[in-house]
Chains A and B, each alone.
Chain A
């Protein structure tokens, strides 16, 4: 289904939030997306009609619930072209990355003692590695960002070495909107024998992801940024590697056999899904995948490019604006900006007075803010149900704000 302005406008009807908040102009999709009626219904239906715990129940309801859960895993795996058992359900991207940081030792040879990240990482793909480095005496290195807000690939090549154990990179920056060349990054990292980890939380909703094509070792994303419910995320890992990882949390559901003294772990992925999972969440996530597939991820990306082009053209005409975005060819529709003389918090407050929701602050990327020489930005992020009219409303409100602070 090709998206244009009219189609995007029509999509709003699929999302109850807009019916319940008629004046809402929602431009904070990078923080969380909205949920379509079908996703909400799938969760309610599970709780109302099929609710039971999975795996070990021997009655019809439990079998139905188990099938739904495993079907959801299959749907998500197909979405990223992974094998079914290469998909681990977690709470969110942050938990996925933390899980890896606690278990990855078994995959890293002793002589490798460097971790390569970038200056544009979200705290969730920085702090876990920072703390791992502190625990194990490893060295952190950071790929620089160029003045045009793209990654400095020559700096990356320089910083990659035979000592690099892990390369962890975001696919899309949640601040700059920059799309990183992760296929190339993975290829370079593999040449040095490094493990590759991709934070896809800001890419999964609008860029096609094929893990076999990207060839990364691990990839993480969250459901709530791609129209699914909160409280569920995914860690993809190549089967051979997952089998070598020790478990992180221990308890029910991840065992084959338990005696008082010892435990035999369950197979992958169950080894990493401990205790009762967010079963309803996985069902909602699978429904979100189907909603996206109905539109087509390429169509979503094309519409985001249209919105980005339109928005950048209009925004650059706002007096006193500074935009931190690499442009239509290198970014998704996430636009960080500042208005001269106006603190981002005040911009967000005044936009809120017009029913416009943006985010303001450091966006969980304090090192990036420091690199840009600012304490924070405003951020408008667009998705499938945003329209040119939404952009117009933002631009017109920003012009008024600039006037008040002159």
Chain B
């Protein structure tokens, strides 16, 4: 068994992450979205589209689709769960750290962009 060098990071692919990747919540499209945005991560080819149904300043429904790595897909799933029922004005001030915390894992710096892709798309949709 090879001895691990310090440059090798901790395994991010915990059970709860892989489970959510295989069965993400809110994957699909809305019948009548009021807001929509697609964001890309050109480094690795992730593409996420967020669709929202907003009524009376509140996100009533949210879905995402597209293709991406585990981190971008899982954070899209967790974020769309979080924002359902939230006021638009509160979503607009959501911080990146709050989204990263949803994942409950230690993220390597190279994956932060993947994790925040869905937040970029949500905020972009609500602009």
A and B physically associate: yes
Chain A residues within 8 Å of B, Cβ to Cβ: 21-24, 343-346, 349-350, 352-355, 360-362, 369, 375-376, 404-405
> Chain B, 56-69, contact with A by CB distance < 8 Å: what is the 0/1 string?
00000000000111
B89 within 8 A of A: no
Instruction: Report how far A402 CA is from B14 CA in the complex, Å.
Output: 15
- Closest chain-B Cβ to A128's Cβ sits at a distance in Å of 19
Determine the interface band of chain B, counting residues with CB < 8 A from chain A: 20 to 34
Please, how many angstroms separate the alpha-carbon atoms of A21 and B8 in the complex? Answer: 11
Contact status B13-A355, CB under 8 Å:
no
Among listed B26-34, B41-49, B75-83, interface-contacting one: B41-49
**B44 touching A376, Cβ below 8 Å:** yes
Q: List 24 A-B contacts (CB under 8 A).
A: A21-B5, A22-B3, A24-B5, A343-B67, A344-B44, A344-B45, A345-B45, A345-B69, A346-B70, A350-B11, A352-B8, A354-B8, A355-B4, A355-B5, A355-B8, A360-B44, A361-B44, A362-B42, A362-B45, A375-B67, A376-B44, A404-B18, A405-B18, A405-B22
Question: Which residues of chain B come closer than 8 Å to A24, judged between CB atoms?
Answer: 5, 7
- In the complex, whether B100 has a CB less than 8 A from a CB of chain A is no
- B8-19 CB mask vs A (1 if < 8 Å, else 0) is 110111000010
User: Contact: B5 with A376, CB < 8 Å?
Assistant: no
User: Which single residue of chain B is at the shortest CB-CB distance from A374?
Assistant: B45
Known contacts A360-B44, A361-B45, A405-B18, A352 near B3 by CB under 8 Å: no
Contacts of B43 in A (CB 8 A): 361
Chain B residues with CB under 8 A of A344: 44-45, 69
B92 near A: Cβ within 8 Å?
Answer: no
Q: Check B18–A345 contact: CB distance below 8 A.
A: no
Whether the pair B9, A376 counts as a contact (CB closer than 8 A) is: no
Contact, CB under 8 Å: A23 / B9: no
Q: A23-B3, A23-B4, A404-B18 are in contact. Are A352 and B46 (CB under 8 A)?
A: no
CB proximity of B40 to chain A, nearest CB, Å: 10
Residues A349 and B4 in contact, CB atoms below 8 Å apart: no
Give the residues in chain B near A343, CB-CB below 8 Å: 44, 46, 67-70
Q: Which chain A positions have C-beta within 8 A of B11?
A: 350, 353
**Closest CB in chain A relative to B106 CB, distance in Å:** 13
Tell me if B2 and A23 are in contact (CB < 8 A): yes
Residues from chain A with Cβ under 8 Å of B13 in the complex: 346, 349-350, 404
Contacts of B68 in A (CB 8 A): 343
Interface assignment of B114: CB less than 8 Å from any CB of chain A: yes
Q: Tell me whether A349 and B12 are in contact in the complex, defined as CB-CB below 8 angstroms, given that A344-B44, A375-B47 are known contacts.
A: yes
Specify which of A22, A345, A352, A362 is in contact with B114 (CB 8 Å cutoff): A345
In the assembled complex, the Cα of A175 lies from the Cα of B43 at a distance in Å of 15
Partner of A353, one of B9, B22, B69, B114: B9
B33–chain A nearest beta-carbon distance, Å: 23
| Leading 10 A-B pairs by shortest Cβ distance | A375-B45, A376-B45, A345-B69, A345-B44, A343-B69, A23-B5, A361-B44, A346-B70, A346-B69, A23-B2
Cβ–Cβ contact B67 & A353, under 8 A = no
| Cα distance A349–B109 in the bound complex, in angstroms | 12
The digit string for B95-127, where 1 denotes a CB below 8 A from any CB of A, is: 000000000000010010010000000000000
Q: Distance (Å) between the CB of A257 and the closest chain B CB?
A: 47
| Whole-angstrom distance between the Cβ of B76 and the nearest chain A Cβ | 13
> How far apart are A245's CB and chain B's nearest CB, in angstroms?
33
Q: Which of B11, B67, B69 has the most CB of A within 10 A?
A: B69
User: Which of chain A's residues have a CB closer than 8 A to the CB of B5?
Assistant: 21-24, 355
CA distance A23 to B18 in the complex (A): 27
Q: A249 to chain B: closest CB distance in Å? A: 29
